[in-house]
């Protein structure tokens, strides 16, 4: 069977009886089995997917199938699916089954998409390498000695290894875009509130979004069109109308902001700097207007992000205490020891580190010095970013400062946090951003370029992304 890159290709073959949903499912299941060592999936819904495929084939024969018939997708282990396990790739939730499905999952299933399994990730979404999972590390299918990125590393690796057509990942500060760049696929973080967070295990509630990883911009747009929109179960979800993203068409000319200092920054891998210079020059040659943007707060982006997200994580993860569900230590003597031991045994090193940092910045003595100040700086970053986007259609940057790095190559958390250098600006600002593959480095590893747009401008973002995508097709 051919390696499909577009849902349109699949649906064309389904219509002409060249393939069936059952055959598609078997094809992807075989790819999952062949790539089992990559550890991208922590659970595969084999029989369920086969049964669902037979049902949809019957619908197709009766011309009653939904618009996403033939779409096989996986879900990150932070997204709930009714009567199925969800653990956040953490020991603390071992054995827990969700009592309901995430709205995003429900909406895909309603349109006759088929869910094929649950995908590995950094524990509770905290990481940039997928080395912080209770289920073990994930290997990058393009170079198994390197990380796939994180925290949605299993989701990106599954797309790159052709184990499914779409993955639903999650984003807090780059957890869809960064692994998409490392694995050479497309990853979208939508506007905050564009997709319902109902059924998403919380990390940092004012940042968290569900994101989409795909092989193409076109399929990413089709999926967002289905899962976006008002949801009565999530009070933070926007009620704005959902445009026909899949029908977006690029204009002949855009006004594009770029950061000149990134062309000379020694902290960025040379091949990525060169790719960024090549991309901006190509936009200029095609008649787009390039604007050298001025952003006054680059040194404050990462500190602001990590202060605020660790604070929110400290609060959100307090619910995992050994008393209600999930892991409970077998060595407890009283209530206090149950809390301490259950959380110590249940959480990994990185999660414990962030909980402690968050608890510190929320403490009475340091609340104003850190948390309050970070909230003010967040507003400055957001305002400054929005100002650039009022003057320009897009901001274009590299997605990451380096290509995929080797396993266990970062000796300190700070080195790892730098992998989020370019992605957290959009997360702090709540705006949509997408990573699209653009060339490779000297070791044949993919480079990703990031496009940011104004809030709820995904339609325009998809249209422009097709221009970038076509440069490497």
C-alpha–C-alpha distance, residues 376 and 388, integer Å: 19
Structural element, H or E, at residue 44: strand 41-44
Residue with tokens 């991208």: 40
C-alpha–C-alpha distance, residues 442 and 444, integer Å: 5
pLDDT in tens, 153-178: 999 999 999 999 999 999 999 999 99
pLDDT at 414: 72
DSSP 3-state of 394: strand
| Average pLDDT over all residues of the chain | 96
Among candidate residues 76, 91, 189, 215, the one labeled active-site is 76
pLDDT at 373: 98
Taking the CB of residue 321, how many other CB atoms lie within 10 A of it?
Answer: 18
pLDDT in tens, 359-370: 999 999 999 999
- pLDDT category, 1, cuts 50, 70, 90? confident
pLDDT at 286: 96
What are the helix (H) ranges across 62-176?
Answer: 103-110, 153-160
pLDDT value at 411 more than 70: no
Sheet holding 394-398, edge to edge: 41-44, 114-119, 72-76, 166-171, 209-214, 186-189, 433-440, 446-452, 394-398, 255-258, 289-292
User: Which residues are 72's β-sheet partners?
Assistant: 114
pLDDT value at 415 more than 80: no
pLDDT at 473: 66
Look up 76 and say whether it is catalytic: yes
Structure tokens at 179: 């692994």
Neighbour-count burial for 446-468, b at 16+ CB within 10 Å, e otherwise: bbbbbbbbbbbbbbbbbbbbbbb
- The answer for residues whose C-beta is within 8 angstroms of residue 338's C-beta and 6 or more apart is 321, 322, 323, 328, 329, 332
**DSSP state letter for 42:** E
- The answer for residues whose C-beta is within 8 angstroms of residue 115's C-beta and 6 or more apart is 45, 48, 49, 52, 73, 74, 75, 81, 105, 108, 109
Residues 61-84, mean pLDDT to the nearest whole number: 98
pLDDT in tens, 267-306: 899 999 999 999 999 999 999 999 999 999 999 999 999 9
DSSP 3-state of 167: strand
Report pTM. Answer: 0.97
Least trusted range by pLDDT, from 127-136, 201-210, 318-327, 364-373: 318-327
The domains of the chain are located at 7-247
Looking from the CA of 275 toward its CB, the CA atoms found within 13 Å total 29
**Helices (H) then strands (E): counts for the chain:** 15, 11
Residues 189-197, mean pLDDT to the nearest whole number: 98
Full 3-state SS string of 418-470 = HHHCCCHHHHHHCCCEEEEEEEECCCCCEEEEEEECCCCCHHHHHHHHHHHHH
* pLDDT: which is higher, 424 or 264: 424
Residues 240-251, mean pLDDT to the nearest whole number: 96
C-alpha–C-alpha distance, residues 264 and 290, integer Å: 17
The DSSP line for 176-212 is: THHHHHHHTSEEEE--TTSB--TTB--SSTTT-EEEE
Percent of the chain having pLDDT more than 70? 100
Residue with tokens 């997408």: 434
- pLDDT category, 432, cuts 50, 70, 90? very high
7-247 belongs to which CATH class? alpha beta
Among candidate residues 151, 216, 435, 465, the one labeled active-site is 151
Q: Sign of the CA dihedral 190, 194, 199, 200?
A: positive
Question: In whole angstroms, how far apart are CA 220 and each of 114, 246, 282, 423?
Answer: 16, 8, 24, 18
């Amino acid at each position: 069977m051919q390696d499909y890159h577009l849902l349109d290709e699949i649906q064309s073959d389904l219509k002409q009886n060249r393939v069936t949903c059952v055959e598609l499912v078997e094809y992807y299941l075989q790819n999952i089995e062949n790539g089992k060592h990559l550890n991208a999936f922590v659970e595969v819904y084999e029989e369920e997917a086969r049964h669902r495929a037979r049902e949809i084939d019957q619908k197709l024969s009766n011309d009653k199938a939904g618009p996403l018939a033939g779409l096989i997708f996986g879900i990150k282990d932070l997204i709930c699916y009714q009567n199925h396990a969800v653990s956040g790739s953490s020991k603390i939730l071992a054995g827990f089954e969700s009592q309901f499905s995430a709205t995003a999952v429900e909406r895909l299933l309603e349109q006759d998409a088929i869910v094929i399994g649950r995908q590995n990730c950094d524990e509770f979404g905290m990481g940039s390498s997928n080395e912080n999972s209770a289920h073990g590390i994930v290997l990058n299918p393009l170079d198994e000695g390197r990380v796939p990125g994180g925290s949605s590393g299993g989701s990106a690796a599954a797309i790159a290894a052709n184990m499914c057509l779409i993955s639903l990942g999650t984003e807090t500060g780059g957890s869809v875009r960064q692994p998409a760049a490392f694995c050479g696929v497309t990853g979208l973080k939508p506007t905050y509130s564009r997709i319902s967070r109902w059924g998403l295990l919380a990390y940092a509630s004012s940042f968290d979004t569900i994101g989409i990883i795909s092989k193409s911009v076109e399929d990413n747009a089709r999926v967002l069109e289905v899962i976006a929109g008002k949801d009565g179960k999530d009070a933070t979800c926007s009620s704005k109308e959902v445009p026909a993203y899949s029908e977006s068409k690029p204009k002949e000319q855009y006004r594009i902001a770029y950061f000149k200092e990134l062309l000379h920054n020694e902290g960025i891998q040379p091949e990525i700097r060169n790719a960024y210079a090549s991309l901006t020059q190509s936009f200029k040659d095609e008649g787009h207007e390039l604007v050298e943007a001025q952003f006054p707060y680059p040194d404050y982006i990462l500190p602001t992000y990590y202060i605020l997200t660790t604070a929110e994580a400290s609060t959100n993860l307090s619910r995992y205490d050994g008393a209600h569900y999930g892991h409970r230590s077998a060595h407890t003597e009283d209530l206090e020891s149950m809390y301490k031991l259950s959380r110590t045994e249940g959480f990994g090193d990185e999660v414990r580190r962030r909980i402690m940092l968050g608890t510190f910045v929320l403490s009475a003595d340091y609340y104003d010095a850190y948390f309050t100040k970070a909230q003010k700086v967040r507003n400055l970053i957001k305002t400054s970013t929005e100002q650039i986007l009022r003057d320009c259609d897009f901001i274009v940057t590299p997605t990451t400062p380096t290509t995929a790095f080797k396993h266990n190559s970062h000796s300190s958390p700070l080195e790892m946090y730098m992998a989020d250098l370019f992605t957290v600006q959009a997360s702090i600002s709540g705006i949509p951003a997408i990573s699209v593959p653009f060339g490779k480095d000297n070791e044949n590893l993919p480079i990703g370029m990031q496009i940011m747009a104004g809030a709820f401008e995904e339609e325009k973002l998809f249209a422009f992304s097709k221009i970038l995508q076509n440069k490497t097709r």
